[in-house]
Amino acid sequence: MNVPLVLTQFLDRAVSLYGDKTAMICSGRALTYKQLNERVNQLSHGLKQLGVEKGDRVAYLAPNTLEMLEGFYGVFQLGAVMVPLNTRLKPDDYLFILNHSESKVLFVDQDLYHFIVPIKEQLQTVKTIIVHQKNVETDEIDYDKWLAQHPSTPFDRPDIDENDVCSLLYTSGTTGNPKGVMLTHRNNYLHALVSMHHLRVSDQDTYLHILPMFHVNGWGAPFYLN
């Protein structure tokens, strides 16, 4: 039997085995795996309503937060491609990456939104900007309010192959503009399994995640920790 190595399987398994167990604690907020999965489903339904389809790019500019973790699974359920943005770049860098990747939706943390303001009118493909932890002064869509508008029922996933691209990570661009590196579900799945094996992670562990989730070094954690 051939079982595709698709990243959504990690959360599916965690919900099945540990649904009522705490999945994540962030800034005083705690969610069980069941609650996390419900929010992920809401995110997927919301993105579909925005017109995001399989293969479309969805960008994230955020630190290690609950919303960022939800993005990994919510984007992947559509067969869409996640474009995580380095939080230490300049507005012109974000402009290049967002346009080059042809990102359709941008999720951005309120504390980083000021990097987007100067380039907002130059974005060629981003049609929707959604802000995590939005201030009342910010004239964009509030993430939590937007999420609450969508059902938490299971999302009807398209056919996703393990060789489908799931993420587009941009290099540092030492000798020119950053290059978009395409990683597949299989790439990240095996990365997660290797990390899980070497770190000996178990369901009894509590893990303090400090590697940035936008960086390739931290990419296995959202999966092997589940």
Question: pLDDT per residue over 45-69, tens digit each?
Answer: 999 999 999 999 999 999 999 999 9
Residue 54 maps to which CATH number?
3.40.50.980
Question: Is residue 95 domain-resident?
Answer: yes
pTM: 0.94
Question: Is residue 224 domain-resident?
Answer: no
Question: Is residue 25 domain-resident?
Answer: yes
pLDDT in tens, 95-122: 999 999 999 999 999 999 999 999 999 9
Question: Is residue 211 domain-resident?
Answer: yes
Can you give the pLDDT at residue 1?
Answer: 56
Q: Fill in the DSSP letter of residue 130.
A: E
- Is the Cβ–Cβ distance between 213 and 64 less than 8 Å? yes
Lowest mean pLDDT among 14-18, 59-63, 87-91, 201-205: 201-205
Question: Is residue 157 domain-resident?
Answer: no
Give the alpha-carbon dihedral of 121, 126, 127, 133, to 10 degrees.
-90
Question: Is residue 226 domain-resident?
Answer: no
Question: Is residue 156 domain-resident?
Answer: no
Rounded Cα distance between 77 and 45, Å, is 10
Q: Cα-flanking dihedrals φ and ψ of residue 16, to 5°?
A: -65, -40
| Domains held by the chain: number | 1
Tell me the residue range of the domain where 24 lies.
Answer: 8-151+163-218
